[in-house]
Amino acid sequence: MPNLNESSLEQFALDLFQSLGWEYVFGPEIAPDAGKNNFGVAKRKSFEDVLLFDILETRLKLINPQIPNEAINDAIKTISHLPNHFPNLMSNNEAFHRLLTEGIRVTYRKNGEEKGDIVTIIDFSNPDNNDLIAVNQFTVVENNINKRPDIVLFVNGIPLAVFELKNPAIENATIKSAYNQMQTYKQTIPSLFSYNEIVVISDGLEAKIGSLSAGYDRFTAWKSMDGTHEAPHKVNQLEVLIKGLFNKDTFLDFLRFFIVFDKSKTEDESGQTIVKLTKKFQPIINTML
């Protein structure tokens, strides 16, 4: 573990991702105002874009070779229009999770007949068919508000995880302040979080994961690097979390099988029924969460 400051903590995390097979991309290199880059990743057309459209299109065509291009384009429109589809962030997020795990229904004409099919977003059976990218300093502008999360993880061009890292050398830069910063992101750049599956907060000493709807008390440490044994306490928590959860196989299994949404009903003072939507993680085994 390097000397603890925010930039070295960020680099430490990025090095871990690369060791697990994630491609690293520096956010400003793919920004709309950037020049040519050598990453092989298309530049964003706008800072409002939270999807990497060229990668998304390429991967959907690769994973779904039987689907015509026009139907692939329809699926991309479904994904890209999602942040404006429902009146609140959690409803959008639930709808996206369903698309992620079940696929997108499309119709197209073939040999004069209308056919129905499903466009798969992630190839869960063949992890290597997916494009995994870790981007740091990814600037998002929404409603003229500019925010830049520390690390965003993209799978097939879709931002599925967001990391906020704080400098432990600064007294008020705690893991709780990382959580508070994440709440600000959710309020100011909600389009990024319509697609979010995992939130990670760390101050270099502690590292915890939580869902989009989780309160601070629901964030928890990841305990195992190999999925079987609890990691020694001397190993940094961020390293345990990244190696244990964000290797390709575990991460894709977690997305597919261990994220659930719960609806609960309550009544307000006027007797009106209120439905609360909560996103939860189900423990894989006791040594993991």
| Residue ranges per structural domain of the chain | 6-281
Average pLDDT value for residue range 242-263: 96
Residues contacting residue 13 through CB under 8 Å, at least 6 positions apart? 134, 151, 163, 165, 202, 238, 242
Alpha carbons 122 and 131: distance in angstroms, whole number: 9
Quick: pLDDT tens for 70-111. Answer: 999 999 999 999 987 888 999 999 999 999 999 999 999 988
Alpha carbons 227 and 245: distance in angstroms, whole number: 9
pTM of the predicted model over 0.85: yes
Closest of 177, 159, 127, 144 to residue 50, by C-alpha: 159
- Does pLDDT of 53 surpass 80? yes
**What does the block give as tokens for 95?**
């709808």
Burial class (CB in 10 A: 0-12, 13-18, 19+), 93: buried
**What does the block give as tokens for 235?**
């190993």
Alpha carbons 167 and 178: distance in angstroms, whole number: 10
Quick: pLDDT tens for 18-28. Answer: 999 999 999 99
40 and 30 Cβ atoms separated by less than 8 Å: no
What does pLDDT average to over the chain? 92
